[in-house]
Amino acid sequence: MANDRDDDRDDDRYARDDRDDRDRSDSRDLEDAKSKVKGPAIALMVTVVISMLWLAYNVFSYFVTMKSQFDEQRAKIDANPNMQVQAKRDMKEMMDTYEKIVTVALPVDWLIVIAASLVIFVGALKMKNLSGLGWARAGAILAMIPCVSGCCLLGLPIGIWALMVLSNRDVKRAFAQTASKSERIDDDFR
């Protein structure tokens, strides 16, 4: 009888040791994956910051200088001695139409850039924490679209870099591990 109890204790100890080894290995794998995604995640965040700074400059320019720029162009048309009266009228009419389009289109573009920047930033945070592969991919893809991300020169290479890292088998496995851990935690609280 005593030998049976000792055998059971030994089996439990070995099972605990195996679990501890697996947990340490999983922890190392997660840390390796976090180090792989850290660079592109931070680069995506920097891209968003640059995009927001550029957007702020554009909004400032829109409200402060745009009207005067259109007025300046109309004055140049009026002052051109080589242009006939009808041509001047046509050019100013075209300027009026263009100004109306720009005054409507720019704020719409800003809203798109803000929404895309939010998705890119959330995706970068999720990537950095290995907590949402779909968000991370969406953020990387949006960063690559020039007119959407607001930072076209940086967004394309950084988005490609992020997608390459996200397609790494070990990184995918780490995302799956963190997802399964969060599901287990959610189950514990139900």
Q: Residue 34 domain-assigned? A: no
Q: DSSP string covering 26-80, please?
A: HHHHHHHHHHHHHHHHHHHHHHHHHHHHHHHHHHHHHHHTHHHHHHHHHHHHHH-
What is the pLDDT at residue 180? 75
Q: Residue 140 domain-assigned? A: yes
Q: Residue 94 domain-assigned? A: yes
Q: Residue 158 domain-assigned? A: yes
Q: Residue 83 domain-assigned? A: yes
**pLDDT 10s digits, 46-90:** 999 999 999 999 899 888 988 888 989 899 988 998 889 899 899
Q: How many domains does the chain have?
A: 1
**pLDDT 10s digits, 96-129:** 999 999 999 999 999 999 999 999 999 999 999 9
Q: Residue 22 domain-assigned? A: no
Domain hosting 120: range is: 57-190
Q: Residue 121 domain-assigned? A: yes
pTM: predicted TM-score of the whole model, two decimal places:
0.74
